[in-house]
Structures are given as C-alpha cells and as structure tokens.
Amino acid sequence: MLGTRLILKTLLKQNLILTVTCVRLLQNNSEVRVRFAPSPTGFLHLGGLRTALYNFLFARSKGGTFILRIEDTDQTRLVEGAVEQLHRDLEWAGIVPDEGPMTGGQSGPYLQSQRLALYKSSADKLLENGAAYYCFCTQHRLELLRKDALRRRQVPRYDNRCRNLTKEEIQEKLTLGVERCVRLKLIPGCETFHDLVYGDITHDVVASEGGDPVILKTDGYPTYHLANVVDDHYMRVSHVLRGVEWQSSTPKHIMLYKGFGWQPPVFAHLPLLLNSDGTKLSKRQGDVTVKYYQSSGVFPRALVNFVTFSGGGFHRDNSDQVRSLDMNQLASEFDVSLIGVASCRVSLERLDDFNHAELVRRMGNETEMADLVAKFRAMVVETHKNRLESLDLDENYIRSVLVWSQKRVSRLSQLVQAQFSYLWVRPPPTPVDCKQAELLSMACDRLQEAVDFSQKPLADLLRSLAKDSNVKVKDIMHLLRLVLCGCKEGPAVAEMLEMLGRQTSLSRLQATLLYHQQSQAHNSTQTT
C-alpha cells in the first residue's frame, strides 16, 4: 500500500511539472524572447557561437526577439575591446541582435555594469521577502572556516552564521556601518524543473552548495546568479538556452524566482562541445575562436553550418550531409527537442568540407562570384604588394582560376600561398638560345590549337611535341616550367598550363620569345 502511494505521488509530481511547463510554453508562444549573455573576458569561441546561434535560430523560428546582453559584473576579468569584438564576430557570422549594447532596445541598458541600482533594489526586495539576509562575516572569518574544513578533509562551506542573527543584531551592525554582503536563503530539499533538452532534472541545492551563496557582494556588484535572474525577468526573457554547465545552478535560480514571486522562464541546456581529444573548448584556445576562423579564410556561412553539424537540433534527412544553408533555412529546420544530450566532439577536419561547399555555392551565384573576384583580387594585391607591376589581375583570368580551383582548394587563402604565386606573379622573360626559342614557338602553335586545355590532353600534347622535336620530355618540361613560373621545380607543367589557362600561358611564352627576338636584334646591331 505504501509503495502504491509513493508511485502515485511520483506520477502526480511529474504530471504537475509537465503541466506547468506546457502552460509556460503556451504563455510564452505569444512573445518569444531569448538572450545570449556572454562575459567580455576573451574572444568568442565555437561553444559560445553555438549558444548564440541556437538562441538566434530559436527566436527566428518563433518570430521572436534575440537579445545580446553583456555580463560584465566581474570587473577583474574584463578584457579591453572584448565587447566590440564580440559584436563584430556575431555580425560577421550573420547573428544580428534585435536588442543589445550596440543596437539599443526598450529593455536596456544591456551591460550589467550599468544596472547596479536595479540589482541593489532587487536584493532589497529579497531581504524584505525574507528570501535573503545580510552577512557581516569578514574575509578573515571565512578564511578560517575554509582552513578548518580543509584540515578536517572536508569541502569548505559557509556555516550560515548570519542567517540566524536577530533583527536587533542586524540593525546594530547596519547602524555601525559594518561591511556586509547579501546571501540567498537556500531551501532544503530537492528542486525539480523540466529541461527542454534533458527532461526532468532534480537537484538538491543545499547538499551541493557550500552554504548560502552570496548574491550581492560588499562592493555593490551582484554575483552571476542574482544579475542573471533579475535581467531575464526585466528583459522579459521567455526561454533560456544556455550551456549544460549552468544546469546545476538552475534550481538555485528557480529559488530566486520564487523569492521574488516571479514566474521563471522555460529552460533548455545545450550539451558541451569538446575538442577532438575530449577536452572542453576554451576561450584561451586561439584556434577555436571566431576571429581565428575569420582571419584564416573561413566563410561565415561555412562556420555556422559546421557548428550545427555537432549535437543535433535540426530536421534533416542525413545528419552527416555537408550543406551550406542560410539563416532562414536553418531556422526552419531548428527544433530544440532534437538536440542530443551527449557531449559532442568537434571534428575540425570537417570544417574545410563546409567551407568548400560554401565556396562552390558562391561561385554558382553571379553576384557573389563578382564579390569573390573583387575580394580575392585584393588578397593577391595585399600578398604581393611589392610586385604590383608583375601581377596578372585580369578579372576574367581570376574568374577562370577560381572556377578551376573549386575542386582543389577549400579556402581562397590557399591560392595566395607561396606554391601558387606563379598564378599571379609574371616571371621575368627567360633568356633562351635559338633552339629553345624554336621549341617555344612550336609549343605556342600547338597550345593555340589545342581543343581541350585540361591537364591530361595537355600532357599528351607536350609528349607529342617532344617526340616530334626529338627532344627529351624532361627537357621540354624543364624549359616550359622555367618560362611559365620562373622556377626549376613546381607542379606538373600540364597542370600549370591548365591553371594558368590558354591566354595567360601563351602570354608568358610569347613574352620570352619577344625578349629573345629583341636580344637577337640587339646583338646583330652590336656586331654590325
């Protein structure tokens, strides 16, 4: 009988949680408001980008509002310029806030350091409601508690001493101006909430916390927990999508909501993104920041689609398919209920596949192709700015090289690396003797007549030329490579010809022939 009652009690509790969650969802359907709330303590990395992106897509899929809020209450860890860089990174990725520090809005200010008066008045409300209390313990006493716990091999925790002070004792200390902070009164027992990703979550806050937590510090700055709850309430945030590392703090946040008498938002926690070795992504890793990928030639849409590749959350026929979708397409496929619960390792080697897909997509759009040509021309000029007079920068030539390269490179930046410099820098005319000049002239004639200017037919053409001229294949290849790129080693000559194209290849061969003719004429004049 006792077992039956326990089962019924558990079922009723679960049904109540689900009912409350459904009611909240219905209430929030009319106005979905989500936020991305990073700390300006470093560059935006892939994990932060994924959190921002999923909030943005959720808002777009529901016709809602995406808010950018900067949580800068920990003044000791601020990085100068991080807020501006964060905003640039998001805009580069196509994640444009509807409200935020740069865009404004009706729920500002959007920097927590500018909302201190609100946190102070909110803490006062908790004190009035009996949900919080003043703590007058000195740092010296707290340090003694910590050392004593460590000596006894226990986890350090605050003993909640000031929670039991009488009204008279509290007033006396306030009158004397004793330094104080404000602590939240934790409620014993397990707090259960429904997570849209992980389902029902039960957590015993008192057991896991090191005593009642500080919510307003002695310097007047709030801790994350108070500021987070107050801002979400006053910014009318309906859904909180954040990293799973904050899941254990959610029951504490719900206690704060109860202390205020406010309705909490709906929560959804996102699983961790891990490095390929299983370690957590970090802001200190320079090679996982948005700025790094931007500077290394990764397209915004490629990085965004790559981020969606790990962890689920989308309606798609093949989760392993490399795609290049825009924000509207991604928003139409996004579904919180499809997000997986397991931490997922980021396969960075796949990023080039996504970048290649975006490169091909852009080349198929005339407007974007023209933009690619212009941007790539600027890249070539910047790379070879000391040899501007020797550059081949004809628009049609750049187009032909880009089209040729789409099956061979994944980033445009690869085409300005040293091994491809011959594509853009014309070598000076090569001194040749009369026999070599005759061979080059024959090569020009055959290249001009070639029907198929691709690698294999060109290789056959050169072998045929060597045979007809009674010259070793390696000798003619050596000569052509020297004339075409000015180097003795490099890619196969037939491949080089294909990359340069008919017009540029003939132009370089003919430049050497003209130089030879002029040299011959000069020598003849000197002899006379």
- Cα(222)–Cα(472) distance, rounded to whole angstroms? 81
Active site residues: 283
Q: Looking at this protein, which amino acid is placed at residue 143?
A: E
Element at 313 (helix H, strand E): strand 312-314
Tokens coding 338:
């499809």
For β-strands 181-184 and 214-216, DSSP reports them as antiparallel
Q: What is the pLDDT of residue 257?
A: 98
Q: How far is CA 465 from CA 50, 108, 442, 443, in A?
A: 57, 75, 8, 7
For β-strands 190-195 and 273-274, DSSP reports them as unpaired
Q: What is the pLDDT of residue 284?
A: 57
DSSP state of 419: G
- Average pLDDT of adjacent 10-residue blocks, the chain of 528 residues: 41 40 46 95 91 98 97 86 94 97 95 96 98 97 94 93 96 97 94 95 89 95 96 98 95 96 97 83 70 94 93 80 94 95 88 95 96 95 91 92 89 90 91 94 96 95 95 94 87 91 94 93 73
Tokens coding 129:
């409601």
Q: How far is CA 280 from CA 1, 45, 243, 299, in A?
A: 48, 11, 12, 24
- Cα(427)–Cα(419) distance, rounded to whole angstroms? 14
Give the DSSP per-residue string, 323-385.
----HHHHHHHEEEEEE-SS-EE--GGGHHHHHHHHHHHHHTSHHHHHHHHHHHHHHHHHHTG
Contact 276, 347 (CB under 8 A): yes
Q: Give the chain's domains with CATH numbers.
A: 33-274 (3.40.50.620), 365-423 (no CATH), 434-527 (1.10.10.350)
DSSP state of 261: T
* Closest C-alpha to 160, from 134, 122, 128, 127: 134
Burial of 474 (0-12, 13-18, 19+ CB in 10 A): exposed
